[in-house]
């Protein structure tokens, strides 16, 4: 299990870096081709947009590793410690549930798209590009469950190495 999580972390980090570099390179290539040769990769812009979706969702997955999502959190820090603990647990479980439901319905969506057989760009079917949606929500849901379990065991919260806000 521990090894699986470690591999997932490496995969996520590599994907973020790889996709970002690809986005920069492809976008600049498109500009160069258009301005200097009056041409361009036909499916380049579609691919760019799909990479934005992927980088967003993978970034969001990584954010849920470390409690890094944007939240309002006005009240809990003023509660007594015991209640802070309970409220935090409730927040994790709620987040896990919402992500779980979204994951389920995203699978349904991807399945419909699979049946429809649309293409996203070049010869790549749309459903392949969309698989990141259920996958990301599955991972986030699991991470919230794991955070809740850790919380119950009263282990220290995940380190905040990426404060998003």
Partner 1 sequence: MLMAIALLLVVLAFFGAPLFTIILAGALLGFYRNEVDLSVIAIELYRIASTPILLALPLFTFAGYLLAEGNTSKRLVKLTSAFIGWMPSGLAIVAFFTCAFFTAFTGASGVTIVALGALLYPALKQAGYQEKYSLGLVTTSGSLGLLLPPSLPLILFAIIAQQMGYGEQVGIKDLFVAGLLPAFLMLALLTGWSLWYNRNDPIPTESFSFTNIKTSVWAARWEIPLPIFVLGGIYGGFFAVSEAAAVTALYVLVMKVFLYKEIPLKSLPKIMRESMVMVGGILLILGVSLAFTNFLVDAEVPSKLFALIQNNIQSKIGFLLTLNIVLLVLGAILDIFAALVIMVPLILPVAMQYGIHPIHLGIIFLANMQIGYFTPPVGMNLFIASYRFNKSISELYQATIPFMLVLLVALLLITYIPELSLMFVSH
Contact set with partner 1 (CB under 8 A): 13, 16-17, 20-21, 23-24, 27-28, 30-31, 35, 45, 48-50, 52-53, 55-64, 68-76, 87-88, 90-91, 94-95, 98-99, 101-102, 105-106, 108-110, 112, 129-130, 133-134, 162, 164-165
- Which is nearer to partner 1, 34 or 155 (by Cβ)? 34
Name the β-bridge partners of 11: none
Smallest gap, in angstroms, from Cβ of residue 3 to partner 1?
Answer: 21
Closest CA to 129 of 46, 25, 27, 45: 46
- Which is nearer to partner 1, 73 or 149 (by Cβ)? 73
Smallest gap, in angstroms, from Cβ of residue 156 to partner 1?
Answer: 17
Token readout for 16 is 């973020």
Smallest gap, in angstroms, from Cβ of residue 74 to partner 1?
Answer: 5
Please give the Cα distance from 58 to 105 (Å, whole number).
19
Smallest gap, in angstroms, from Cβ of residue 163 to partner 1?
Answer: 9
- Which is nearer to partner 1, 75 or 149 (by Cβ)? 75
**Which residues make Cβ contacts (< 8 Å) with residue 82, sequence separation at least 6?**
none
- Which is nearer to partner 1, 1 or 115 (by Cβ)? 115
- Which is nearer to partner 1, 31 or 152 (by Cβ)? 31
Please give the Cα distance from 44 to 136 (Å, whole number).
24
Please give the Cα distance from 68 to 111 (Å, whole number).
31
Exposed, middle or buried by CB within 10 Å (0-12, 13-18, 19+), for 72? exposed
In 83-136, beta strands by DSSP E: 119-121, 124-125
Smallest gap, in angstroms, from Cβ of residue 100 to partner 1?
Answer: 11
């Amino acid at each position: 299990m521990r090894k699986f999580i470690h591999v997932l972390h490496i995969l996520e980090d590599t994907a973020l870096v790889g996709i970002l570099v690809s986005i920069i390179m492809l976008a600049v290539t498109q500009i160069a081709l258009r301005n200097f040769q009056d041409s361009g990769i036909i499916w380049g812009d579609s691919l760019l947009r799909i990479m934005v979706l992927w980088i967003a969702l993978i970034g969001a997955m990584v954010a849920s590793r470390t409690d890094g999502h944007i939240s309002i959190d006005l009240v809990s820090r003023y509660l007594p410690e015991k209640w802070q603990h309970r409220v935090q647990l409730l927040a994790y479980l709620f987040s896990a549930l919402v992500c779980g439901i979204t994951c389920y319905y995203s699978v349904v969506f991807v399945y419909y798209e699979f049946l429809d057989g649309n293409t996203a760009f070049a010869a790549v079917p749309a459903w392949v590009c969309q698989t990141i949606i259920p996958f990301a929500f599955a991972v986030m849901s699991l991470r919230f469950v794991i955070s809740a379990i850790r919380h119950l065991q009263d282990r220290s919260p995940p380190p905040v190495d990426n404060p998003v806000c």
